[in-house]
Amino acid sequence: MINIVLFGKPGAGKGTQADFLKHKYNLVHLSTGDIFRFNIKNDTELGRLAKSFMDKGDLVPDEVTINMLQSEVDKNPQAAGFLFDGFPRTIAQAEALDAFLAGKNQEITATVALEANDEILVQRLLERGKTSGRPDDQDEKKIRNRYQEYNEKTAPLMDYYKAQNKFYAVDGIGTIEEVTERLSLVLDTF
């Protein structure tokens, strides 16, 4: 079983690359953003709670996110592996994911960070915001707050996974095909 964590700042191309990875490696794609947006759209209790944080550009608290992801993994017992997109975002989430997977005799195979310059990413998100309807992609202040949250809470995951020899950085700038090729070069070794 292959379990991949894909992370990077908002706008780095995680969603685009996740679509490629899930098909190539036959993985169940678990995107916290998609799961939260589904719950927001359907006005569930989780959706209302998540929206209260997301509207400010803040991360949804660990406990809520961890329980949600564990539930999604449990819904897919026949999966060949998982692609975690947007999770974990903190050391506490990574430790909880490791413990949860260990209880299932599984582990994270690799983590891949899509890296790109903030100014390029801000412009990508503002452009995406024009067509996506997502309010968090239409306000530069909220976008920059999301990057600050990422730098403070998610960037430390690089050292966490480096210590396990499971971290790989991939340049997220270029055509979709160029970034996809870079990802394949890393992941085809597993």
Q: Residue 44: helix, strand or coil by DSSP?
A: coil
Catalytic residue among 9, 22, 51, 89: 89
> Bridge-partner residues for 84, per DSSP?
5, 30
Asked whether the beta carbons of 35 and 41 are under 8 A apart, the reply is: no
CA-CA distance, 38 to 61, in Å (whole number)? Answer: 18
37 annotated active-site? no
DSSP assignment string, 64-129: HHHHHHHHHHHT-TT-SEEEEES---SHHHHHHHHHHHHTTT----EEEEEE--HHHHHHHHHHHH
**Is 182 considered catalytic here?**
no
Residue 14 among the catalytic residues: yes
CB-CB contact of 128 with 184 (8 Å): no
Q: Pick the catalytic residue: 22, 51, 142, 146? A: 146
Q: Out of 37, 134, 153, 166, pick the active-site residue.
A: 134
Is 146 annotated as catalytic?
yes
Tell me which of 37, 128, 153, 166 is the catalytic residue: 128
Active-site residue, from 9, 14, 142, 182: 14
Q: State the catalytic residues.
A: 14, 89, 128, 134, 146
